[in-house]
Structures are given as structure tokens and as C-alpha cells.
Amino acid sequence: MIKNILSGIKAYSGTFKIIANLGLWKYFWIPVLISLITATLIFTSAYALSDNIGQFLSQWWVWDWGKNTVDSLSSVVGGILIILLGFILYKHIVMALSAPFMGPVSEKIEAHLLGKRTPNPRDTIFMEQLWRGIRINLRNLSMEILLTLPIILIGLIPVIGLLSSILLFLVQGYYAGFGNMDYTLERHFKYNESINFVRRHKGAAIGNGIIFTLFLFIPVIGVIMVLPLSVTAATVKTVELLKLEKQIG
């Protein structure tokens, strides 16, 4: 698993060169605009709602003793929940809405890597690509929330809180990498087949998503650069895996 995660991270090397050589920067301006608008809306809303979440949580403590401590902890927990929810919503919204624009970019990179157009591609139109992106990301959003909530609860237990943080980071990475890989898989597999492919190569997805997630901690620049670099890296790695499985030649 660790080797596969590292290979997903390594795929980021040379991404600037590929984008520049293929003249792909012009294809990213709409996804970058989507990314900036989504990030602004989500994180301003999250900041405004954090206190409300804390107050909602603290009202369940009906006793007077320890009330101040509970209020403080509720604010912290509320802030963490809002930040996590913001990260989760951001990446799935951006990935879903960017699907019709990232698919063609991924196809150009794939053709470059193979030295030819992929034989028998699954040709799709704009709305089909958009629906595929929405469907995949709604599914991933649901799964990620189901996994995230119990991990947060486990994190409240002393000592093992560090393990909880690591698990949250890996879950975030996996579903980010999943979305990036599907821009390539969309041309080769149906919905369920793509899910099974990413499960077989979850390490590569996590590696791609780790860098994706880290980029989001870089103010402004991270939101601008995250899609171009992560989608390019995911395409390079996914094409490599497809060749290993003899799905493409």
C-alpha cells in the first residue's frame, strides 16, 4: 500500500512540463474559476456558521457543572466539523462541475502518453460527462461523510486522537484521488467498473489525493493550481495502471 501511495505522489513530477508541452493551460481557466468561486462561497459560509454549530452542540449539556468547558469544546468541535465539511464539499462540487472540462484534458494527456488516440474510447457529450461527474461525486460524498463522522468521534478519545487525524487525511486523499482518476476512467469503464478499478488501486488514489489536499492549505495559489496538477498526475498514473492491466495498449 505504501509503495502504491508513493507512486501516486511521484506522478506529480513532470506535470508542469506535460501541461506546458501540450499547451493545456488554456483549458483550465473555467475549472480554476469554478474552484475559486466554490472555495470562496464554502469557506465564508463555514466561518459564519462555526459559532452556531458550537452553540447547537453545547445545548445538549444540560448540567451546570463543566458548562464552560463543554462550551469551549463545542466551539472547537464545531470549528473542526465546519472545516472538514468545507473541504469535503469543496472538492466534490469542483470535481463534479469540472468533469466536462477535465475529461478532454485527460484525453489529450492520454493520447500523448500512448503516442496515439486511444482505440475504442467511450465517446461522451458534455451533459453525459457532467452527469457522470455529479453521480460519481455524490456517491463519493456520501461514502466520505459516512466514514468521516465515526472517525471524528473516535478522535475525541484520548491518546488515539492522532490516529484519527491520520485516518481522516487518508480518507480525504482517497476520494480526491478517486475523482481525479475518473476523468480518465470515464472513457474506458462504466460507472461500477470505475469504482472497482479505483478500489484495486486505492494506494494510487490516496497518493494523488494527499497532494491535492495539501495544495488546499496554500492560500489562493493552492486553489488555482490544485486541479491542473492533480488531474495531470492522476491521468499519468491511471494510464500507467490501465496499461498494466492491459486495458489499453
Nearest to 9 by CA among 237, 216, 245: 237
Q: Are 42 and 90 in contact (CB under 8 A)?
A: yes
pTM: 0.85
Which pLDDT value is given to residue 212? 95
Instruction: Quote the CA–CA distance of 74 and 196 in Å, as a whole number.
Output: 39
Which pLDDT value is given to residue 119? 47
Which pLDDT value is given to residue 75? 67
- What DSSP state is assigned to residue 26? G
Q: Are 5 and 203 in contact (CB under 8 A)?
A: yes
Q: Which mean pLDDT values do the consecutive 10-residue runs of the chain (249 residues) have?
A: 91 94 92 91 75 67 64 68 80 92 91 73 70 93 90 76 85 95 92 94 96 90 92 96 81
User: Nearest-5° angle of CA 103, CA 248, CA 116?
Assistant: 70
CA dist list (Å): 205 to 9, 65, 174, 178, 233: 9, 47, 5, 5, 10
Which pLDDT value is given to residue 148? 87
Which pLDDT value is given to residue 151? 87
Domain boundaries, the chain: 2-242
